[in-house]
Structure 1
Amino acid sequence: MIIKIPCKRHVISIFMIIIIIVVLVLSSQITKAYSVENKTPFDNSHFIEVDGISLHYRIDKARTDQSLGKILMVHGMGGSTYCWRENTGPLSENGFTVITVDLPAFGFSDRQPGLDHTAKNRADWLWGLLDYLDSELFNDNTPWILVGHSMGAKPIAEMTFNRNEDVEALVFVAGAVFNSPPNLFGNLIEQTPFNHLFEFAIRNIIHQPFAINRALKSAYGREVSEEELSKYLEPLEIEGTARAWIDLVRSSSDELDNLDQLETNILLIWGADDSWVSVDDARKLDDQLLNSNLEIIADNHHMPMVTASEEVNNLIISFLLDSRN
């Protein structure tokens, strides 16, 4: 008896048909809503265009007579400026001017299709923002302190590779520098009609409340409040977000392999129970860096800047002040 083994092309076709059926069945029970008004999200919100890309950022100015420095805080995957809600106030109260920013495809920044979301491109966009602030608002060319959470670690590392002299220090909070973008479907994600299918699935399944709530529970290590959930869902409802996430998967950068070239002082902050970026990665990163200090916070997961905010704020402030002595 001869057994015919289906070719790879047929297997992929069958698999995609199954996905289509599942998506259609699930979507019949899901309400789609994905447009919001263009508005100023927060009292301290601002917008700037860098290389034709609109960036949303927020400013928390130092609340002391003497400014101790300028901090840029960059969120992780699925995040926004909201992720730093427990940190900007205490840091500004201690003399730091804090800038939080939404990367393109996240928060209230640009959703234009076709962007390459590489860490190098993100670094260029962020330097564009900081250069504008230094020249037009702050009149201050002192180096910046760069803080990146999870996915936000790669861009601030690239910012430092590009302009080390303009960076005073780095802080990685659960920094995802060793991961590479998933390539489960190869070039299919860029081809019609599969790209439309993936966009449909992202919008109607991945970006729905039940999925986001589950992801947040894992990242926070606890149940999230209705307000917290709504703050993550609101940006996902902006038209074009699902399409932008396809570009994100298509163009995200591979793991960083030149970390030993980072010569600046670096603080690593990790949750001991982080299941998203493990403590093993933290120790590996600490071994590869020249001037780093690893702080592991017990009973915390992937969002220690929220769930252990007081400890994280104290660690950052002490690290910055001590590194100047």
Structure 2
Amino acid sequence: MIRKLVKFAVRSLLLLLVLACAAAIAFRLAAALRETADRDQIMPASGKTIATRSGRIFIQDKGDTQAIPVVLIHGTAAWSQLWWRTTDALTSSGFRVIALDLPPFGFSDRPGDYTRGAQAARIDNILTTLGVTKAIIVGHSFGAGTALEYVMRHPDRTRGLVLVDAALGLTAPPSDPPWLLHPRWIRELLVSLTVTNPLATKTLLSQLIANKAAADAQTIGILQTPMRLKNSTADIADWLLYFTSADRGALSADRRAVAGIAAPTALLWGDKDTVTPLAQARDLQTLLPKASLDVLPGLGHIPQIEDSIAFNKALIAALRGM
């Protein structure tokens, strides 16, 4: 009897394993079938691509070109359109807004080099192409690493820095990508199950925010718009190695170097953020004691969509202070 039970358990586990593998492969095939669109076919009319030394970058450039430029850098799996309510508020307040798609997300070229140094060079090339000499740099979540890196490499071109629920890794020891992610096919399976899987968008977004109502149909639609682009899963699978490891060559990974930032700096943080908890903002303040901190009550990791009115008010006040 015991032997039969053991055999039954083993067979059941093997069957579950086969089914799980089949499901994962099915999601990867579904991604390949879905990702057939060229950029020009689905690129929104709200922005444009510009030719830079870093390739073609999708930007949304709005407001008076003579006004103070504010560069908006999104976080993981987002793109420039996720700032849509903030863009309107800033232009109405007299700022020029340059929101961009940081590759491999959105509609910019995806060259395969995603270090903070390479991403900061893209920002610099965008501003050079647009003829912008100085700007205020705003970075959210994983995009805050690029924002910080740009400011440290180009202090002469920086009016100020705003970090929003920044994911900088300054409180964690340096690490390498998990060995399980080394095979590319595993990374592609993982990405097709999560980031580029339309069925997972709402669930993943809901895990990042405190105000669950913000995971509405409009926001979900924005996040899903670029998913039809060719090779999205493969390109994001390449980026995943950068996401899961420390960027040891980045200036912004050095706590002592970060402490030397002279640009006016503001921190905006949701007090319910469980991804980059408020303690990380407090730690940043120990490195940058002159930085202001505006805590946004009741909001999580993406305050610009959770309560755009409260967030925009705090952001505009920080920008005017610069």
With the shorter chain as reference, the TM-score category is 0.7 to 0.9
Q: Deviations over 1:37-71 (max 9, x none)?
A: 322633331112333522111111139xxx54110
The aligned residue for residue 201 of structure 1 is: 190
CA contact (8 A) 2:77 2:195 kept: no
- Normalising by structure 1, we get a TM-score of 0.81
**Contact 1:23-1:201 at 8 Å conserved across structures:** no
Number of aligned positions between the proteins: 291
Quote the residue 2:43 is aligned against: 41
Q: Hey, what does 1:177 align to over in structure 2?
A: 168
Structure 1 unmatched ranges of 5 or more: 1-17, 135-139
**Distance change (3 Å), C-alpha of 1:68 and 1:184:** closer
Gap change, CA 1:25 and 1:90, over 3 Å in 2: closer
| In the alignment, structure 1 residue 245 sits paired with structure 2 residue 236 | yes
The DSSP-based 3-state class of the residue aligned with 1:78 is coil
Question: What residue in structure 2 maps to residue 132 of structure 1?
Answer: 129
User: How big is the shift at 1:101?
Assistant: 0.3
Match of 2:72, SS?
strand
**1:146-204 per-position Cα deviation (integer Å, ceiling 9, x unaligned):** 00000111111111111101101001110111267974533x644xxx31232133124
Say which SS state the counterpart of residue 142 (structure 2) adopts. Answer: helix
Q: Is residue 111–residue 240 contact of structure 1 (8 Å, CA) maintained in 2?
A: no
1:264-303 to 2 correspondences below 5 Å = 264-303=263-302
CA root-mean-square deviation: 2.5
Residue of structure 2 in register with 1:14 after alignment? none
1:239 is displaced (CA, Å) by 1.8
Structure 1, residues 110-148: CA drift from partner, whole Å, max 9, x if none?
234xx22011110001100001101xxxxx53x200000
Moved more, 194-203 or 280-289: 194-203
Q: Secondary structure at the match of 2:71?
A: strand
Read off the aligned partner of 1:305 and give its amino acid letter: Q
Q: Matches of 1:48 and 1:108 in 2, distance apart?
A: 11
Note the C-alpha offset of 1:256. 4.4
Matches of 1:153 and 1:38 in 2, distance apart?
A: 26
| Gap regions ≥5 residues in structure 2 | 1-15
Residues of 2 paired with 1:19 and 1:109: CA distance? 38
Give, as a single letter, the amino acid of the residue that structure 2 aligns with 1:35. T
Find the residue that maps to 2:298 and give its secondary structure.
coil
Kept after mapping to 1: 8 A contact 2:39/2:229? no
Q: Superposed, which structure 2 residues align to 1:85-234 within 5 Å?
A: 85-112=84-111, 115-134=112-131, 141=133, 143-178=134-169, 183=176, 185-186=178-179, 189-190=181-182, 194-221=183-210, 222-223=212-213, 224-234=215-225
**For residue 59 of structure 2, what is the amino acid of its counterpart?**
Y
What are the Cα deviations for residues 198-217 of structure 1, in whole angstroms up to 9, with x where unaligned? 21331244421232211111
Partner of 1:10: none
Aligned-partner residue type, residue 178 of structure 2: F
C-alpha distance 130-233 of structure 1, shift in aligned 2 (>3 A): same
Structure 2 counterpart SS, 1:58: strand
What aligned pairs does 1:48-67 form with structure 2 within 5 A after superposition?
A: 48-62=50-64, 67=66
Identity %: 20
Q: Which amino acid aligns with 2:293?
A: L
Whichever residue aligns with residue 146 of structure 2, its letter is P
Name the amino acid aligned to 1:233.
Q
Check 1:165–1:28 CA distance in 2 against 1; reply closer, same or farther (3 A cut): closer
- Per-residue deviation at 1:291? 2.3
| CA–CA separation in structure 2 for the residues paired with 1:198 and 1:34 | 17
* One-letter amino acid matched to 1:171: V
- Kindly state the Cα deviation for residue 234 of structure 1 after the two structures are TM-superposed: 2.1
* TM-score, scaled to structure 2: 0.82
CA shift in 2, pair 1:277/1:169, >3 Å: same
CA change 1:281–1:205 in 2 (3 A) is closer
Mapped to 2, the partners of 1:98 and 1:27 lie a distance apart of 41
Alpha-carbon distance in structure 2 between the residues aligned to 1:57 and 1:276: 27
Structure 1 counterpart of 2:227, which letter?
L
